[in-house]
Amino acid sequence: MTVDDPTPRFADPTRMAGAAAMQAFAPRMGQRYAARRNVDRGAGRHRDVSSLSPFIRRRLVLERDVVATALAHHGAEGAEKFIQEVIWRGYFKGWLERRPQVWARYRDGLQHDLMTLDRDRRLRGDLEAAEAGRTGLACFDAWAGELVETGYLHNHARMWFASIWIFTLGLSWRLGADFFLRHLLDGDPASNTLGWRWVAGLHTRGKPYRAQAWNIARFTDHRFAPRDADLSEVTAGLEAEEPDGLPDLLPLRVPCPPDPDKPSVLLITEEDCRPEDFDLAGLDLRGAVTLAASPLRSPRAVSDAVQRFEAGALADTAARSGLPVTGMRAGVPGDLVRWAARAGAVQIVTPYVPEGPLRDWLTEAMPALEAEAITLTEWQRDWDRLIWPHASAGFFKVKKKIPEILRKAALT
């Protein structure tokens, strides 16, 4: 391990550890980040990127606070590239909220891919070799090992890896997205799904991302030197998989806000581990529950590291809430409803749950909620309300709005 190794940070999934990591990286959020952010130095040496994403994904660290820190240290011009990368996360979330059909396509398509694996022995072997890092392509195999061992992968390596997975190895992009979601500590349904779609040429249609030998060599500081012949020529994406194109935009879902006069219970999930930012004192709270939901990420086994990070984050959040907290796993959705009814609640209060497996699980719980006359209510953060309405097409539309977003967020 080196002093720059992100792994010790990941061993402490708390709000305090996330804030300390943010402050430690603050001096590097400016020109140094802009100049070196694309360099993958390898496991234990990712000192030019923040490695804050596992904390930001669970909002142990808020995007707004990260941007405010960058502005305070480097100003709007110096921190421009870093701020753009932070806002990408909000863009992807908003884009998927506007097109939830894309999540449903991924979820259903993955089930089809897994059934195909059961019937195709050769495909099953190819997948096992890729996930185990036994393809014979040194860079790809190293990244597969780093992902499984550490739960982290540099963003540039994720792009190369996905491109090789899809175009050189000929594997389903959904199986690759599933592999990432099962192992990445920062695995997020929106960023992960849309990132893989982007590489495949489905997000920005007709523009797939091509892993190139010279690019890999240059931005790994020549740790790897694949030959051009090792990588497939990419001339077209996977647009034929979706001949009808992207689904129509839908209006953003408007959550039902909590009623402060109704007996309530607080639901704590890894989607937002900062419920104390909202008005807990103004509610009639009869209890709180942490819901361990990371196994919902995939029909296949989710890594122990991901589940440990989630468990630590939930425990830290429970301790900060100051409430008596019950622990629960996301099994049968009716279990949550029965627990809330026993607590005497007529509403469940939680920070906004975006598109993804947990939203699917809560949707399954709706009939049981209605039967018990219990309402699911959500807080929504101003940060999301500022970004999501602009996330209707490519990132450029959001990028143009960044000065306005920062101004409305009272950051400039």
3-state secondary structure string across the chain: CCCCCCHHHHCCCCHHHHHHHHHHHHHHCCHHHHHHCCCCCCCCCCCCCCCCHHHHHCCCCCHHHHHHHHHHHHHHHHCHHHHHHHHHHHHHHHHHHHCHHHHHHHHHHHHHHHHHHHHCHHHHHHHHHHHCCCCCCHHHHHHHHHHHHHCCCCHHHHHHHHHHHHHHCCCCHHHHHHHHHHHCCCCCHHHHHHHHHHHHCCCCCCCCCCCCHHHHHHHCCCCCCCCHHHCCCCCCCCHHHCCCCCCCCCCCCCCCCCCCCCEEEEEECCCCCCHHHCCCCCCEEEEEEEEECHHHHCCCCCCHHHHHHHHHHHHHHHHHHCCCEEEEECCCHHHHHHHHHHCCCCEEEEECCCCCHHHHHHHHHHHHHHHCCCEEEEECCHHHHHHHHHCCCCHHHHHHCHHHHHHHCCCC
pLDDT of res. 206? 86
What is residue 106's predicted lDDT score, i.e. its pLDDT? 98
Task: Return the closest-CA partner of residue 176 out of 155, 154, 152, 200.
Answer: 200
Per-residue confidence (pLDDT) for residue 9, from 0 to 100 = 59
Other beta carbons less than 10 A from residue 4's beta carbon: 12
Task: State whether the Cα torsion 400-155-297-58 is positive or negative.
Answer: negative
CA distance 164 to 101: 27
User: Residue 173: which of 102, 248, 122 has the closest Cα?
Assistant: 102
- Tokens for 186, please give them: 């920062």
Residue type at 151 in one-letter notation: G
pLDDT given at position 5: 45
CA distances from 229 to 138, 236, 401 (A): 14, 18, 42
Let me know if 250 is exposed, middle or buried by CB neighbors in 10 A (0-12, 13-18, 19+): exposed
Q: What is the pLDDT of residue 235?
A: 86
User: Residue ranges of the chain with pLDDT lower than 70?
Assistant: 1-9
Look at the chain and count its residues.
412
Q: Are 312 and 13 in contact (CB under 8 A)?
A: yes
Domains and CATH numbers, the chain: 7-97+387-408 (1.25.40), 109-241 (1.10.579.10), 263-380 (3.40.50.620)
**Nearest by Cα to 280 from 322, 313, 316, 312:** 322
Sign of torsion over alpha carbons 28, 32, 37, 43: negative
Give the per-residue pLDDT at 3: 35
For residue 8, the model assigns a pLDDT of 52
Assess contact for 267 and 336: CB atoms under 8 A: yes
As a whole number, the mean pLDDT across the chain is 95
Q: Which residues contact 341 (CB under 8 A, 6 or more apart)?
A: 372, 374
Per DSSP, what are the bridge partners of residue 350?
A: 378
What type of residue is 345?
A
Single pTM value for the model:
0.96
Tell me the two tokens of residue 333: 């959705």
